[in-house]
Amino acid sequence: MNRHRLLPSDEAAAILELAGDIADRELAPLADAYEERGEFPREAVRVLGRAGLLGLPYDEADGGGGQPYEVYLQVLEELAYRWLTVAEAVSVHTLACYPVATFGSPEQRAKYLPDLLGGDLLGGYCLSEPAGGSDAAALTTRAVRDGGDYVVNGTKAWITHAGVADFYQVFCRTGGPGAAGVSCLFADASTPGIVPARPERKMGLNASPTAQIAFDDARIPAERLVGEEGTGFRIAMSALDSGRLGIAACAVGLAQAACDYATGYAKEREQFGTRIIDFQGVGFMLADMSTQIEAARQLTLHAARLKDAGRPYSIVAAQAKLFATDMAMKVTTDAVQVLGGYGYVRDHPVERYMREAKVLQIVEGTNQIQRMVISRTMGR
């Protein structure tokens, strides 16, 4: 994927080149087989960790890469271009590191972040529940203080990396109803009483396990409370602002892969003695796909640059997630159309791209939620 990028440093250019090289060598050759088997590529994620690509936006003093968010998002785009499952894994892991990195005590940061950001440990983010995916403030999983531990009971749903993660950020109720009663606990996945269910049977991203997790009298040490009691909802929402940008970047990379594949096909495929790209109906479709991808890319990077500058970016992040993921759904569908019948069979990757694009409109807050967030600010 050759892009004319505006990067903040030579180091950023080297990081992007490294990410592309690793993705070409270690990810792209595995994608089809792992997706077919539904097998999570744990070793491939470890390779990214050893290369320093799992903690890019966090401070070097904590074991991270010290890179601007705009650089991290372009790395995600490079990974998603080759294999969305792995790009999503990096995005979710980065999200799972956020509470400790941003709200953790100095002791927690020193003790946990080097391993979290170094890539040996993989994270999961336990916010959604079976009865309340979008209404996070209504969660019912409860943590009760018992001596030096919190005893946690309840069920989390739609948890990426369930069963393969090494740690989970668990949002649970320590107080009364509503957002003010929610807290955040950092839990080892091996804790007795944390029990992942059978993975969901999904439309796409089959190599990325998603499942419910039951908490049955799981005892989590009180020292693993992140922030103070009652601040969990604020932590969760703050994390999702940056997490939405990760999903937007994944959408851009996936859409670019679909567009490039469809363009290559249209240059080779002939009908009536003419390349189909030279038919206006096909050529204009590809032109629209390319334009929408670039618009999504720039909106996503604009939000990242606002974040890097310490300026408010929540609304632009919602706009980027909304636009980029709707765009990816449209572009991947159009890529299938360009290939015609061949687009509908598994001999070509565009059918997988289309199935994978759908989930991006749902995760990290559905696009209906993004529209609600945006419209509420417009009504003030």
- Active-site residues, by number, are 364
Place of tokens 């969660």: 139
Q: What is the per-residue DSSP string for 222-266?
A: GGGEESSTT-HHHHHHHHHHHHHHHHHHHHHHHHHHHHHHHHHHH
The helix/strand/coil state of 365 is: coil
Q: Quick one: CA dihedral 136, 141, 142, 146, positive or negative?
A: negative
Say how far apart CA 121 and CA 46 lie, in whole Å.
9
CA 142 to chain centre: 26
What backbone phi and psi angles, to 5 degrees, belong to 172? Answer: -145, 165
Pairing of strands 225-226, 182-188: antiparallel
Amino acid at site 75: V
Angle of CA points 36, 41, 42, to nearest 5°: 155
Pairing of strands 149-160, 194-196: unpaired
Q: How many CB atoms sit inside 10 A of residue 252's CB?
A: 32
Q: How many CB atoms sit inside 10 A of residue 242's CB?
A: 24
List 151's β-bridge partners, or say none: 144, 219
Give the pair of three-digit tokens for residue 84.
């969305």
